Amino acid sequence: MTPTTTERTDFVARLRASFPLDRVLTEPGDLERYSHDDAEWAPFELPLAVVLPESAEEVSDAVRAAAEAGVRVVARGSGTGLSGGANAVADSIVVSLERMTAVTEIDVAERFAVAQAGVINDVLRSTVAAHGLWYPPDPASSAISTIGGNVATNAGGICCVKYGVTRDYVLGLTAVLADGSIVRLGRRTAKGVVGYDLTHLLVGSEGTLAIVTDVTVRLLPLAGREERAVVGSFASLQDAGVAVAAITAAGIIPSALEIVDSTCLRAVDEWQKLGLPRDVDTMLLAKVDEPGALGDAAAARVAGLMAEAGAVGVEQAAEPAEVARLFLARRLAYPALERLGPVLTEDVCVPRGAVPEMLARIQAAARENQVTIANIAHAGDGNLHPLIIAPEGDDSAKARAKTAFDRIVADCLALGGTVTGEHGVGLLKLPGAAEELGPRVLDLHRAVKHALDPRGTLNPGKAFPA
Amino acid sequence: MTPTTTERTDFVARLRASFPLDRVLTEPGDLERYSHDDAEWAPFELPLAVVLPESAEEVSDAVRAAAEAGVRVVARGSGTGLSGGANAVADSIVVSLERMTAVTEIDVAERFAVAQAGVINDVLRSTVAAHGLWYPPDPASSAISTIGGNVATNAGGICCVKYGVTRDYVLGLTAVLADGSIVRLGRRTAKGVVGYDLTHLLVGSEGTLAIVTDVTVRLLPLAGREERAVVGSFASLQDAGVAVAAITAAGIIPSALEIVDSTCLRAVDEWQKLGLPRDVDTMLLAKVDEPGALGDAAAARVAGLMAEAGAVGVEQAAEPAEVARLFLARRLAYPALERLGPVLTEDVCVPRGAVPEMLARIQAAARENQVTIANIAHAGDGNLHPLIIAPEGDDSAKARAKTAFDRIVADCLALGGTVTGEHGVGLLKLPGAAEELGPRVLDLHRAVKHALDPRGTLNPGKAFPA
C-alpha cells in the first residue's frame, strides 16, 4: 500500500491543483515546522505536504484525496501537544486546522457555543465571557492551544479538579471521517441518549478516528464565582502532599490545587527575579471560588489545613490581581524550566492519596538516575507533571532521563494510577498504554479503529499501540 | 444461524447443567415475567431461559454458552426501562443481574465506590451516604432500578439539571464482551486519557456492546448542600414554560426544575386526596441547594421570576419534610397516571427555550388525536415526558395514541431536539433515532456494533436501527 515516488509526486500535484497555492505548503522549512508537536524525543517524519483547509468540506477534500492515494493524514491544531500525537508519520500530509478560527454561534439562553477547531482556547473563553458565559477547561497552553487540539487530547487543566475536563463540556461536533464523509454527532440539548456516544469516543482519540472540524461546547454562567487564592510554603514535597490529602479528605473541592517544587521555583526566580524566598522547598497553590461568606470559610479552612500539615507560611488573596500574583510562579514554571534544556514532560495520574508516595518515588528516580526532575502537579487530581531535564547534546543524560521516565510510568501503574492524566498517549506513552490497557482491551481498540478507519488513513500508530 | 428446536433444547439443558438449578428459570410464568420491561406496546418474545448469575464469571459462562449455540443474550436489571431495551428477542436468554447486589468498595478519600450491576440506585445512594458521600443521579425509578440498568441507559433524573447524568459519574466498569471475555475499562483516578473512551461508549449502549457487571462511580461530598423548594402554581403550561425560560436565562442553575400539569395533579389528588387546589393548571417545582445566604438569595430569585411569569401562587420551603411535601405531587405523578390505563411515556428533549412551544405542540397533538396526554417534565433540561394514556382494550385510542406519539417525535426534531433525553432508544424510538442520526451516522453505529459484537449476540435490534 505504500505509494511509489511517482504516486507521491502526483498526489501532491493533485493537492496543489485543488487548493489555493498558499494553502498547500511543500517548502522544506514548512514541512519541518509542521512535522512535530512540542513533545521532546518523540519520533517524526517530514510530511509530503501541509494543507491549510478553511472548511469541513476542504478537510474532507484533503482526506478523500489522501485516502485514494494511500497517503496518511495527521491532523494538527497549533502543535502544543506533549506526547507526539500530532507528529507526522511516513507518507503523510499534515492537515492544520489553524485557519478555522471562527466562533460561529453563541447561544446565551441555552448556554452553548460552536467553535471551529482552530479557535484558540483563550479566544473561545474571552469570546463567550463577553456574553456572560464561561468555558471552564483551562490547559496551561490555553493561550496557544486550539479547541480542536483540546478535544483531540481531552485536555485537562488547572480548574479540572472542580470543573472537569474538555470531554465534560463537549455536547457535539462535526467530524470528517476516514473516507472523507462529514458527520454531525451529538446534540444541542441539555440531555440526550440517542444511539452510541460517538461524540465522546472521538474526544481524546487523538485524530485516529476522525478529524474534528467544529465543536459545540456546553458553557456555564460566568457570574457567581469569586476566586480566592491560598498559597502555602512547605519544607518538602511530602509535607505539601500531606496537605493535599488533608484538603481532599476534608471534602473540600478547591477550584485549583497545584504543587510547584523548589527546582521550578528557583528556575522561575532566576528568570523573572520575583524575589521568591529561597528557603521554600515547595509551594502548594489553592483556589476556592465560592462567593461571599462560603468562600471566606473555604479559604480559611484550606489555610488551616495547610498550617496543620506543616506549612512554613500561608498567604491568602481575594483581589484578582493579587490572586494572579500568587499563581504567577505556577504559570511561569514550565517556560522557566524549558530555558534549562529540553524538558521531557511526564503526565502520570495516581489516586489522590498516593500523591506523597508518588512524589517520593519521582525524587528517588531522579536521584538514582542522576537527572534533574522538577515537579509541577495538578495535585488535587493526583495528576503529576515531573519535568525531566537533560542538557542539550548530552546523550548519557538523555539515556538516564529515559530510564527515569520508564521507572516513573511503572511506579504510577504500581500505585493504581494511569500513565497519562491529560496529555494523551501520542507516541511517548505507547508502551505504558500497552501495559495499562492489557491485550484484550487493546483488541477492542484495534476493532474500533478498524471499524471507523479500515485503511488506517488517520494518524496511524498513535493513541494506542497498534 | 437460527438454532433448530433440538439445538435450543440442548442449549437450555447445558445451561441448566452448568448453573445451580434455582438460577436458570424456564417455567412459563418466569419466562413471561422476565420477557419485557415497563415500556407499553414494545414488542417482545419469550426467552428460552432466564439466567441469574452471581459474578462476572457466571455472566461470562452464560454469554459464552449462548454465543456458541447461536442464542442471543438480553441483559436486564430490574426491568424498569421505558423503551423496551430489556425486552427479550427471538432465540434469546435473559441474563438478569438482580443477584449481583454488593457494593464491593467505598473509598472515602478518593470519593469513589464500586457497585455490582444489580445494586438498586437508592441502596447505592444510602450506602455511600453513610460514609458522607453522595451519588447524584436520581432517576424517578431510583427505588427500584439498578445501577447496571442506569448505566445501560445512561439514566438521568431530577437533579441532572445541575449535577449531570449517569455517564458523568462512571469512572470505570467491568464488562463481559460478546465472546464471553471479561474486561476492565476506565480508571480509579480523578483524570485519565489513556486509549479510547470505551467506558463511556458502553454507558448508554443498552446492553448491545457488552454486559456491565460492576461500575466504579465517582462520588461527591454529601455535606455542603441545603435544599430549598420553590413551587409555583400557574394557570397554564405555557406560563410555567415562560418561567422556566426566565430562570435559566437568568443564569440560575437550580438543582431541580420540574413541571407537573393539571392531568397529573388531578390524578394524584384523586388517588391520594392531598387536597391540591383544583384551580391550578400547572405546578413548576424548583429546588436550589446552595447553603446559607446564597441559597436564600437563589430561592428568592426563583420565586420572584415565577411571580413575574404570572404564577398565581408561590410556596417556599427549607425544612426537609416540607421540601418533600411540596415535591410529593411530582413523585406520585407517574404511578397516579398508571392507574388510569396503560401509559405510553414520551421522552423528547428540546432546547430549553423551546419548552413552551413544545408543550403547546404536545397539547395540539392530544387535541387533534383525541387522546389524553399528561405532562411531567424535567423542564430545566428541556426533557419532557408527555404521558399518553389509552384505556385498556381500546384499539382505536391506541392507534390515535400512536399517531400522537409519532407527531410529538417529529415536532421535537423540528425544534432541534432529540427523540430521547434519558430513557434510551430501546425499541420504541428506533424510527425516531433513524431520522435523528441519519444514514452515515447509522453506518458508524453498525460498524461499532460489528467491531464489538460481530455475531450479533448481545441484545440485537436495540439502541439503533440495525
**3-class secondary structure for chain B?**
CCCCHHHHHHHHHHHHHHCCHHHEECCHHHHHHCCCCCCCCCCCCCCCEEECCCCHHHHHHHHHHHHHHCCEEEEECCCCCCCCCCCCCCCEEEEECCCCCCEEEEECCCCEEEEECCCEHHHHHHHHHCCCEECCCCCCCCCCCEHHHHHHHCCCCCCHHHHCCHHHHEEEEEEECCCCCEEEEECCCCCCCCCCCHHHHHCCCCCCCCEEEEEEEECEECCCCCCEEEEEEECCHHHHHHHHHHHHHCCCCCCEEEEEEHHHHHHHHHHHCCCCCCCCCEEEEEEECCCHHHHHHHHHHHHHHHHHCCCCEEEEECCHHHHHHHCHHHHHHHHHHHCCCCEEECCCECCHHHHHHHHHHHHHHHHHHCCEEEEEEEHHHCEEEEEEECCCCCHHHHHHHHHHHHHHHHHHHHCCCECCCCCCCCCCCHHHHHHHHHHHHHHHHHHHHHHHCCCCCECCCCCCCC
pLDDT at B233: 96
Q: Cβ–Cβ of B422/A224 closer than 8 Å? A: no
The answer to whether B358 faces chain A, any CB pair under 8 Å, is no
Secondary structure in 3-state letters for A357-369? HHHHHHHHHHHHH
Minimal CA separation from B105 to chain A, in Å: 15
**∠ CA B2-B7-B8, rounded to 5°:** 80
Contacts of A125 (CB under 8 A, 6+ apart): A134, A135, A138, A142
pLDDT at A52: 98
Report CA A382 to chain centroid distance, whole Å: 15
The answer to whether A313 faces chain B, any CB pair under 8 Å, is no
Residue count of chain A: 466
The answer to whether the beta carbons of residues A170 and A203 sit under 8 Å apart is yes
Averaged pLDDT for residues A22-28: 97
To the nearest whole percent, how much of chain A has pLDDT over 70? 100
Query: Could you report the per-residue pLDDT of A343-377, keeping only the tens digit for each?
Result: 999 999 999 889 999 999 999 999 999 999 999 99
pLDDT at B403: 96
**A243: burial class by Cβ within 10 Å (0-12, 13-18, 19+)?**
buried
The answer to whether B444 faces chain A, any CB pair under 8 Å, is yes
pLDDT at A41: 87
Nearest to B207 by CA among B78, B76, B47, B67: B76
Chain B nearest-CA residue for A250: B109
Tell me which residues of chain A, numbers 336 to 355, contact chain B at a CB-CB cutoff of 8 Å: 349-353
The answer to whether B241 faces chain A, any CB pair under 8 Å, is no
pLDDT at A1: 62
Q: Cβ–Cβ of A190/B380 closer than 8 Å? A: yes
Q: Cβ–Cβ of B441/A350 closer than 8 Å? A: no
Tell me, what's the ipTM? 0.96
Contacts of B154 in chain A (CB under 8 A): 193, 197
Query: Could you report the per-residue pLDDT of A145-177, keeping only the tens digit for each?
Result: 999 999 999 999 999 999 999 999 999 999 999
Query: Could you report the per-residue pLDDT of A30-72, keeping only the tens digit for each?
Result: 999 999 999 988 999 999 999 999 999 999 999 999 999 999 9
Nearest to B203 by CA among B357, B424, B460: B424
In a 13 Å sphere around the CA of A202, the CA atoms on its Cβ side amount to: 32
> What are the grid coordinates assigned to A352, written together?
489522590
The answer to whether A40 faces chain B, any CB pair under 8 Å, is no
Q: Cβ–Cβ of A183/B441 closer than 8 Å? A: yes
Classify each residue of B410-425 as buried b or exposed e, where b means 16 or more C-beta atoms within 10 Å of its C-beta: bbbbebebbbbbbbbb
**B107: burial class by Cβ within 10 Å (0-12, 13-18, 19+)?**
middle
Chain B nearest-CA residue for A412: B189
> What are the grid coordinates assigned to B418, written together?
432529540
User: pLDDT 10s per residue in chain B (466 long)?
Assistant: 688 999 999 999 999 999 999 999 999 999 999 999 999 889 999 999 999 999 999 999 999 999 999 999 999 999 999 999 999 999 999 999 999 999 999 999 899 999 999 999 999 999 999 999 999 999 999 999 999 999 999 999 999 999 999 999 999 999 999 999 999 999 999 999 999 999 999 999 999 999 999 999 999 999 989 999 999 999 999 899 999 989 988 889 999 999 999 999 999 999 998 888 777 899 999 999 999 999 999 999 999 999 999 999 999 999 999 999 889 989 899 889 988 888 999 999 999 889 999 999 999 999 999 999 999 999 999 999 999 998 888 999 999 999 999 999 999 999 999 999 999 999 999 999 999 999 999 999 999 999 999 999 999 999 999 8
The answer to whether B424 faces chain A, any CB pair under 8 Å, is yes
- Which residue of A223, A292, A444 is in closest CB contact with B251? A223
Give me the domains of chain A, ranges plus CATH numbers.
5-96 (3.30.43.10), 103-221 (3.30.465.10), 224-339 (3.30.70.2190)
The answer to whether A321 faces chain B, any CB pair under 8 Å, is no
Minimal CA separation from B450 to chain A, in Å: 8
- Which residue of B156, B197, B223 is in closest CB contact with A191? B156
Residue A332, classed as helix, strand or coil, is helix
Q: Cβ–Cβ of A194/B429 closer than 8 Å? A: yes
- Which residue of B189, B444, B450 is in closest CB contact with A351? B189
Looking at every residue in chain A, the average pLDDT score rounds to 95
Tell me which residues of chain A, numbers 55 to 84, contact chain B at a CB-CB cutoff of 8 Å: none
Q: Is the pLDDT of residue A245 over 90?
A: no
d(CA B423, CA B204): 9
Contacts of B440 in chain A (CB under 8 A): 177, 181, 183
Query: How many beta-carbon pairs below 8 A join chains A and B?
Result: 258
The answer to whether A418 faces chain B, any CB pair under 8 Å, is yes
